[in-house]
């Protein structure tokens, strides 16, 4: 199954970057399409935390369940999204770089339904562009004053 990876350097310390990315309720501030994410239970985000994601993609309403599978503060955040469009692993790595932080974001396809397999050539074009856009929006948001 395909996977995609992109990187960007931001002028922000790792703790600020990680805090922003680990706040799932703020993902709508940087994703390409509208998304609303709500925690399934109370408490801090960590390994095993689950969320419901409702978003709009290509005119369709999509609901996914997100589960955090790795949580290493200021270094690594991994979660899996599972829903009608398939199952995907999203990974963020954060490292010190150039007085700020390098963010590496990847998406790995774990399962695709038949329609996803048919649309795979389109995914190969759209996913790298989406990653690049997400990282650019993360950078813009983190480098704005007061974020």
Please report, for the chain, the start and end positions of each structural domain, with discontinuous segments joined by +: 3-143
Measuring CA to CA, which residue among 113, 85, 89 is closest to residue 5? 89
Measuring CA to CA, which residue among 116, 133, 108, 136 is closest to residue 58? 116
| pLDDT tens digits in sequence order for the chain, 147 residues long | 778 999 999 999 999 999 999 999 999 999 887 889 999 988 889 999 999 999 876 677 889 999 999 999 999 999 999 998 889 999 999 999 988 999 999 999 899 877 777 777 777 777 889 899 999 999 999 998 655
* 8 Å CB contact between 18 and 105: no
Q: Is 37 helix (H, G, I), strand (E, B) or coil?
A: strand
Give the homologous superfamily in CATH for domain 3-143: START domain (3.30.530.20)
């Amino acid at each position: 199954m395909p996977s995609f990876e992109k990187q960007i350097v931001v002028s922000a310390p790792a703790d600020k970057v990680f805090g922003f990315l680990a706040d799932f309720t703020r993902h709508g501030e940087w994703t390409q399409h509208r998304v609303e994410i709500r925690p399934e239970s109370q408490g801090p985000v960590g390994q095993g935390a689950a969320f419901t994601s409702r978003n709009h993609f290509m005119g369709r309403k999509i609901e996914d369940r997100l589960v955090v599978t790795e949580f290493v503060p200021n270094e690594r955040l991994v979660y899996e999204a599972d829903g009608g469009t398939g199952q995907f692993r999203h990974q963020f790595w954060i490292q010190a770089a150039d007085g700020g932080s390098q963010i590496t974001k990847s998406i790995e396809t774990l399962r695709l339904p038949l329609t996803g397999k048919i649309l795979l050539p389109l995914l190969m074009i759209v996913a790298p562009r989406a990653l690049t856009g997400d990282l650019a929006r993360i950078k813009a948001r983190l480098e704005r004053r007061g974020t």
